[in-house]
Amino acid sequence: MEHAGSQGKTEHRELWEALGGGDGLRALLVRFYDVVYEDERLSPFFHATTKEWAIDHQYAFLRQIMTGEDVFFGDRPRNAHHWMVISDELFDYREHLFQEELRRVGLPTNRIQEFQAIHERFRKQIVKSCPFPKKRRGVALPLDGWESIALSAGGSCDSCATILEKEASAFYHVRTGKVACDACHSTSSDPLPTSEKV
């Protein structure tokens, strides 16, 4: 995976401290993703990944932005969301839910606005009317097909539901985000259920 080193250049140390550091940020994300995984509008974007995976990735991403520590090695937001059709209205809806969690932990208004400004930096990379290809070193990758990956957090195969442990090898559909285990990918050119084919 491409290393998003530039994401941590702008530090938000006071926001990090207001959240209670790493423990506070993780607790916030656990509560937020509890909501997301139950939300009918947002949960479909996460059905191929475990809640732990989502929390771990968002935690590392935000920690790097807030502290400048070199801890996030996932895809940049443009690549991570490249297959997701997300409107401005849906982006705002997600922000509203996130801000509700910030208010629940007692974050002051100015810090909530600071968090909102962090998310706004990536709106143009996430909001779109149709999928667009990932880019690596300026080169557009195919919108369809499978990519071999080593999982940085646990997950499950979308074809057979086999649990995939952290660092297990798997295949990732470059547009839909579906995950296939080695066995399912090797026995079929398209391991997705018929209703999920793209």
Please report, for the domain that includes residue 118, its CATH number: 1.10.490.10
Q: Last residue of a domain, which of 93, 126, 159?
A: 126
Which pLDDT does position 185 carry in this prediction?
Answer: 83
Q: Is 109 exposed, middle or buried (0-12, 13-18, 19+ CB in 10 A)?
A: exposed
Whether residue 139 is contained in a domain is answered as no
* 166 & 78 share domain: no
The pLDDT confidence band at residue 61, using thresholds 50, 70 and 90, is: very high
Q: Last residue of a domain, which of 91, 126, 161?
A: 126
- Average pLDDT on 56-83 reads 82
Whether residue 138 is contained in a domain is answered as no
Whether residue 186 is contained in a domain is answered as yes
* 160 & 117 share domain: no
CA 18 to CA 184: how far, in whole Å?
A: 46
- Average pLDDT on 180-198 reads 59
- Average pLDDT on 89-98 reads 97
Whether residue 132 is contained in a domain is answered as no
* 80 & 117 share domain: yes
* 92 & 184 share domain: no
Whether residue 131 is contained in a domain is answered as no
* 52 & 120 share domain: yes
* 18 & 109 share domain: yes
Which pLDDT does position 110 carry in this prediction?
Answer: 96
Q: Which domain holds residue 183?
A: 144-196
Q: How many domains does the chain have?
A: 2
More confident: 6 or 12? 12
* 105 & 159 share domain: no
Which long-range CB contacts under 8 A does 93-98 form with residues at least 24 apart? 93/41, 93/42, 94/36, 94/42, 95/119, 97/32, 97/35, 97/36, 97/39, 97/42, 98/32
Which pLDDT does position 2 carry in this prediction?
Answer: 34
This prediction has a pTM of: 0.65
Q: Last residue of a domain, which of 92, 126, 160?
A: 126
* 118 & 148 share domain: no
Whether residue 38 is contained in a domain is answered as yes
- N- to C-terminal Cα separation, the chain: 23
Least confident of 29-38, 105-114, 146-155: 146-155
* 33 & 108 share domain: yes
Whether residue 137 is contained in a domain is answered as no
pLDDT surpassing 50 at residue 144: yes
pLDDT surpassing 80 at residue 81: no
Which pLDDT does position 143 carry in this prediction?
Answer: 63
The pLDDT confidence band at residue 83, using thresholds 50, 70 and 90, is: low
- Average pLDDT on 116-128 reads 90
- Average pLDDT on 162-187 reads 80
Whether residue 134 is contained in a domain is answered as no
